[in-house]
Protein backbone atom coordinates (compact mmCIF):
# COMPACT_ATOMS: atom_id res chain seq x y z
CA UNK A 1 0.00 0.00 0.00
CA UNK A 2 0.88 3.67 -0.16
CA UNK A 3 3.40 4.99 2.34
CA UNK A 4 3.42 8.25 4.23
CA UNK A 5 6.67 9.06 5.98
CA UNK A 6 6.68 11.50 8.87
CA UNK A 7 9.87 12.91 10.33
CA UNK A 8 11.07 13.18 13.02
CA UNK A 9 9.35 10.47 15.02
CA UNK A 10 10.16 12.24 18.25
CA UNK A 11 11.70 15.56 19.20
CA UNK A 12 12.52 17.39 22.41
CA UNK A 13 12.92 21.14 22.21
CA UNK A 14 13.34 24.06 24.53
CA UNK A 15 10.49 26.41 25.24
CA UNK A 16 10.48 29.31 22.80
CA UNK A 17 12.12 27.47 19.91
CA UNK A 18 10.44 26.28 16.71
CA UNK A 19 10.11 22.74 15.46
CA UNK A 20 9.40 21.56 11.92
CA UNK A 21 7.68 18.27 11.20
CA UNK A 22 7.73 16.83 7.69
CA UNK A 23 5.14 14.61 6.09
CA UNK A 24 5.99 12.94 2.79
CA UNK A 25 3.98 10.68 0.54
CA UNK A 26 6.62 8.33 -0.80
CA UNK A 27 4.99 6.61 -3.72
CA UNK A 28 1.99 8.70 -4.61
CA UNK A 29 0.97 12.30 -5.08
CA UNK A 30 -1.20 13.70 -2.34
CA UNK A 31 -3.15 16.78 -3.27
CA UNK A 32 -4.55 16.94 0.22
CA UNK A 33 -2.91 16.22 3.54
CA UNK A 34 -4.35 16.52 7.00
CA UNK A 35 -2.62 17.38 10.25
CA UNK A 36 -3.91 15.96 13.50
CA UNK A 37 -3.00 16.30 17.13
CA UNK A 38 -3.56 13.62 19.71
CA UNK A 39 -3.70 14.38 23.41
CA UNK A 40 -3.02 11.60 25.92
CA UNK A 41 -5.92 9.16 26.17
CA UNK A 42 -7.92 11.14 23.63
CA UNK A 43 -8.79 10.78 20.01
CA UNK A 44 -7.30 12.61 17.10
CA UNK A 45 -8.15 16.26 16.68
CA UNK A 46 -8.02 17.66 13.19
CA UNK A 47 -5.88 20.77 13.15
CA UNK A 48 -5.84 21.74 9.51
CA UNK A 49 -6.31 20.62 5.95
CA UNK A 50 -3.38 21.25 3.67
CA UNK A 51 -3.83 21.49 -0.08
CA UNK A 52 -0.88 21.67 -2.45
CA UNK A 53 -0.19 25.17 -3.65
CA UNK A 54 -2.72 26.92 -1.45
CA UNK A 55 -3.07 28.11 2.11
CA UNK A 56 -4.04 25.58 4.71
CA UNK A 57 -7.53 25.57 6.15
CA UNK A 58 -7.40 25.59 9.93
CA UNK A 59 -10.01 24.19 12.27
CA UNK A 60 -11.63 26.49 14.76
CA UNK A 61 -9.45 27.11 17.77
CA UNK A 62 -6.17 26.26 16.05
CA UNK A 63 -3.77 29.21 15.89
CA UNK A 64 -2.56 29.54 12.32
CA UNK A 65 0.33 31.78 13.34
CA UNK A 66 1.55 29.22 15.80
CA UNK A 67 1.10 26.12 13.67
CA UNK A 68 2.46 27.02 10.26
CA UNK A 69 1.60 24.59 7.49
CA UNK A 70 3.24 24.57 4.10
CA UNK A 71 2.26 22.19 1.33
CA UNK A 72 4.81 23.14 -1.27
CA UNK A 73 4.64 20.06 -3.45
CA UNK A 74 2.41 17.10 -4.14
CA UNK A 75 4.56 14.90 -1.91
CA UNK A 76 5.50 17.12 1.00
CA UNK A 77 3.65 19.02 3.71
CA UNK A 78 5.34 20.56 6.73
CA UNK A 79 4.02 21.64 10.10
CA UNK A 80 6.09 24.14 12.05
CA UNK A 81 5.29 24.69 15.69
CA UNK A 82 6.56 28.20 16.35
CA UNK A 83 7.67 29.49 19.73
CA UNK A 84 6.81 26.18 21.31
CA UNK A 85 5.56 25.98 24.87
CA UNK A 86 5.12 22.98 27.17
CA UNK A 87 1.39 22.91 26.43
CA UNK A 88 2.25 22.21 22.79
CA UNK A 89 3.72 18.89 23.84
CA UNK A 90 1.66 16.29 22.06
CA UNK A 91 1.57 13.61 19.38
CA UNK A 92 1.20 15.07 15.90
CA UNK A 93 0.09 12.92 12.98
CA UNK A 94 -0.26 13.67 9.31
CA UNK A 95 -2.31 11.84 6.75
CA UNK A 96 -2.64 11.98 3.01
CA UNK A 97 -5.53 10.86 0.89
CA UNK A 98 -5.65 9.06 -2.38
CA UNK A 99 -8.55 9.34 -4.73
CA UNK A 100 -8.72 6.42 -7.10
CA UNK A 101 -11.27 4.99 -9.42
CA UNK A 102 -12.24 1.35 -9.39
CA UNK A 103 -15.65 1.59 -10.92
CA UNK A 104 -16.74 4.35 -8.58
CA UNK A 105 -14.38 6.84 -6.99
CA UNK A 106 -12.82 5.52 -3.85
CA UNK A 107 -10.87 7.33 -1.23
CA UNK A 108 -8.34 6.08 1.25
CA UNK A 109 -6.31 7.83 3.90
CA UNK A 110 -2.74 6.90 4.79
CA UNK A 111 -1.03 8.01 7.95
CA UNK A 112 2.45 8.93 8.97
CA UNK A 113 3.85 7.23 12.01
CA UNK A 114 3.44 10.38 14.09
CA UNK A 115 5.79 12.77 15.87
CA UNK A 116 6.04 12.93 19.64
CA UNK A 117 6.87 16.52 20.56
CA UNK A 118 8.07 17.32 24.06
CA UNK A 119 8.70 20.94 24.94
CA UNK A 120 10.80 21.49 28.06
Applying CB under 8 A, which residues contact another protein?
A: 6, 32, 34, 42-44, 46, 49, 93, 95, 97, 99, 104, 106-114
Q: Note whether 3 and 110 are within 8 A (CB).
A: yes
Query: 5 pairs with which residues across the strands?
Result: 24
Q: Closest Cα partner for 88 from 117, 52, 109, 113?
A: 117
Other CB atoms within 10 A of residue 59 CB? 13
Q: Closer CB to another protein, residue 1 or residue 82?
A: 1
Nearest approach in angstroms of CB 118 to another protein is 15
Q: Closer CB to another protein, residue 45 or residue 68?
A: 45
Q: Note whether 56 and 69 are within 8 A (CB).
A: yes
Nearest approach in angstroms of CB 49 to another protein is 6
- Count of positions (residues) in the chain: 120
Nearest approach in angstroms of CB 32 to another protein is 6
Q: Closer CB to another protein, residue 32 or residue 90?
A: 32
Amino acid sequence: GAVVSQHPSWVICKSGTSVKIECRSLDFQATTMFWYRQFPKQSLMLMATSNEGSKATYEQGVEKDKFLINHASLTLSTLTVTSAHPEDSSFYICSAIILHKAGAWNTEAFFGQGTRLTVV
